[in-house]
Structure 1
């Protein structure tokens, strides 16, 4: 009887040892997984993705406040504004939508330019004349040495009418001020004192 009791005691101790080992193993596994999760979160927190000209750029946390990332974001903001403002199709709702998107990125100086064009019936002419207008960028220069950041944009407008194709030189300038980011303004800049310096035809040819 004593031997049987001793065997039961040994078996109980072995089961307890196995249980303790299993518990410790679970604890250490949990700690290890938490550490790996923390490391992964730290890595992902240091990654920033920027969209510019339909391309995605990745920046690390060490670059976040650097000139390179700031320049990319500033240039992308200028590009987005001009693309919205000057990409037009012969559809009144489309024009209204893209112009509103442009005006979300700028101060009243852009609204003033829009009002001037509207008073000249420019947008009505786009619709009634079945005109399409696109923009291609030659260069966007942003001076980051002083706030607000001065920029100059040099681009080409391609205007297609039923009978002609026009290429127009476009040069604008303005200033960029930092503001909070939003869905409508993902780069967190506001264009101020925007001016059209030059907008002239450089070639006109008849369509075949």
Structure 2
């Protein structure tokens, strides 16, 4: 025989501090949108284009049965040793990259440094260096990128002794920069203030103990 059970539910702001913490924990565990990092990826693609990177893409199947192309960017984080970000790309000299990156991100000194490093090594090699980065292994961090560097010289001139190392270091530094942006975005979105705003905006309700009800 069916019976009606009445229960009192609460908005986040009506909960005790302990119950509110439980409500926030529920949201952090499963409430994040799958695409929370899209804005970071879009920013990275703009940075990559300025610096001369042509990111590789891969086919991703959609829920409706279609497909789309997405850049080859991966990350894992943010709590374990070995977490990080990586990408697959082709790289070639891009004229004016140091100036353009300062216009795009005037306060980001790390991006300025990476652009300057690429410019300097290209200058020493008459702007003929190119590189390819490919993901390898089962992890996602800067050392999972296999990076090959070549010089396209019409006279078959070898690259300078430091060229390969400088290009590899710059691309790996860029992967570290990307990971820092992802971590910063995640920390912001999972902060108490932002989580509270999202829970309230969505009208979620909870039991007195802070368990999600509706």
What's the TM-score once normalised by structure 1's chain length?
0.30
Larger radius of gyration: 1
What's the TM-score once normalised by structure 2's chain length?
0.30
**Which of the pair is proportionally richer in strand?**
1
Bigger relative contact order, structure 1 or 2, given CA contacts below 8 A and separation 6+?
A: 2
